[in-house]
Chains A and B, each alone.
Chain A
């Protein structure tokens, strides 16, 4: 069953002539991990906003994500978490009526020590830790689908590893499906089964992640791979 489906979607913003999305089709099935990759301005975030129902498509067919079974994570944890709330209250917000034990477990699942962070405010923890709090909030209700917009780009390499491990674990344990927007193909390699490469509002390559990474066809995909090398 599809959790998200976009078919031949086109999006033109009123102020511009060139479409932000042009004939884009993406499906996320249950248990499937889809990465949408491309540079700033390629249309990745517009695609995500349409998939979530935040923006409407100009034309095409859209089945948006079910908000009751979808967790959300954004790029900047500092602006997506309430500075007036304690960490435990932020995480609890992800599942109404959740118990103290559930909140502790959700924090442990993102490798944070509940005894240390529970009563802190976001301003008292690092950016990487704050992003893990945002992920704990997104995953506490055990959603079927996680939608994330550049969840690791504002985090250092050690923080990235924690987050990648958390996502991999949730996928392996409970078949969490994902739609993740990324610019880094190295991270996409870790977190997706299917990859969608976007360039100037169009999909230039779409397929099995390993296949695309080992046999890229489009020159733009090759450039992205080159940029993620070490």
Chain B
């Protein structure tokens, strides 16, 4: 589905991402994990073709066997929403504040499909149900809903055009813990239902472990470890991976800490 080969991203003064290889199969959920500044978001931006103009990029990014780095802006735009979609960290800045929730969600349908207004309306209604939101929210503006609701709206918009891959760049970091859990469950459930692949970035192994089947660990612009999620968590090879796992474990509440939680452990 996505095949990245020897990706190098640089500013005019220095190289930031150093020869990254990354592969995502059809309908596979892949994690990209690293601390702030490790280069995760730049890789995401390179795939989507939205890197800042000051950045230069080399290497190859194949999406469905076509190199997106050699496409025109128009060609790339035709892929967004249908072949690939994205959700970002801050849903409030990802939605258009000047139009209603309905207008935000229907945008990919307007751009890529010739549907009547009524058809679009009923598709948006359906999409809202899928992300667990009430129909009444359609006529509200992004500023009139909560952060968690806004992220659900962003997911509805990202998935309404049935993309083959959803790229989620730290989509839960700005949300509180209970809302985070709901968003993660929703992402996994909806992409599984639609048969879409996922690239999910995070700094937190406890979050990645709820989403990804396989993951890449990135440190200072280099992939330092790659593999099946379970085996990386159980037997990490690189010191940096160990550090990330320990930090996440240290902060999380482990199964043995509570005797009568709702899960009954």
Which residues of chain A have a CB within 8 Å of any CB of chain B?
Answer: 39-41, 126-128, 153-161, 164, 183-187, 189-190, 213-216, 219, 222-230
- A226/B146 contact (C-beta < 8 A), A157-B35, A157-B204, A159-B36 known: no
B247 CB contacts on chain A under 8 angstroms: 157-158, 160-161
Q: Which residue of A lies closest to B147 (CB)?
A: A40
Instruction: Verify B36–A156 contact, CB threshold 8 A.
Output: yes
B186 within 8 Å of A (CB atoms) = no
B209 near A: Cβ within 8 Å? yes
B251–A224 CB distance below 8 A: no
Q: A219 contacts which chain B residues (CB < 8 A)? A: 262
Question: CA–CA, A127 to B247, complex, Å?
Answer: 18
State the 6 A-B residue pairs at the shortest beta-carbon distance, nearest first: A230-B252, A156-B203, A230-B206, A183-B176, A227-B177, A157-B247
Among candidates B148, B204, B248, B260, residue contacting A216 with C-beta atoms closer than 8 Å: B260
A215–B261 CA distance with the chains assembled, in angstroms: 8
Asked whether, in the complex, the Cβ of B257 is within 8 Å of the Cβ of A156, the reply is no
Residues of B within 8 A of A186 (CB): 251-253
Q: Which of A156, A185, A189 contacts B35 (CB 8 A)?
A: A156
**Which residues of B sit under 8 angstroms from A187, Cβ to Cβ?**
251
Residues of B within 8 A of A154 (CB): 173
**B178 and A39 contact, CB distance less than 8 A:** yes
Query: Using Cβ atoms and an 8 Å threshold, which residues of chain B touch A159?
Result: 35-36
Q: Indicate if B64 sits at the interface (CB-CB under 8 A).
A: no
Q: B146, B179, B258 — which one has the most chain A CB atoms within 10 A of its CB? A: B258
Query: Residue on B with the closest CB to A185?
Result: B253
24 A-B pairs in the complex with CB atoms less than 8 angstroms apart: A39-B177, A40-B148, A40-B179, A127-B36, A128-B36, A153-B176, A156-B35, A157-B204, A158-B247, A159-B35, A161-B250, A161-B251, A190-B251, A215-B259, A215-B260, A222-B261, A222-B262, A225-B253, A226-B261, A226-B262, A228-B177, A229-B206, A230-B252, A230-B254
Q: Is residue B231 within 8 Å, beta carbon to beta carbon, of the partner chain?
A: no
Q: Which of B209, B253, B260 contacts A228 (CB 8 A)?
A: B253
